[in-house]
Amino acid sequence: MTEATGTDTDTPSAPDGELTLRTLAMPGDANPAGDIFGGWVMAQMDLAAGIRAGERARCRVVTAAVKEMAFQRPVKIGDTLSIYTNIARIGRTSLTLQVEAWVNRSRIGRKEKVTEGTFIMVALDEHGNAKPVPQE
Q: What CATH number is given to the structural domain containing 67? A: 3.10.129.10
Task: Confirm whether 131 is domain-assigned.
Answer: no
Task: Confirm whether 109 is domain-assigned.
Answer: yes
pTM score, two decimals?
0.89
Task: Confirm whether 40 is domain-assigned.
Answer: yes
Beta strands in 7-136 (DSSP E): 18-24, 60-71, 80-90, 94-104, 111-124
Q: How far apart are CA 121 and CA 50, in angstroms?
A: 7
pLDDT in tens, 29-84: 999 998 999 999 999 999 999 999 999 999 999 999 999 899 999 999 999 999 99
Domain that holds residue 63: 18-124
Task: Confirm whether 106 is domain-assigned.
Answer: yes
Q: Quick check: helix, strand or coil at residue 27?
A: helix
The residues facing 128 across adjacent strands are none
Q: How many distinct structural domains can be found in the chain?
A: 1
Q: Phi, psi at residue 115, to the nearest 5°?
A: -165, 170
Task: Confirm whether 59 is domain-assigned.
Answer: yes
Average pLDDT over the chain reads: 91
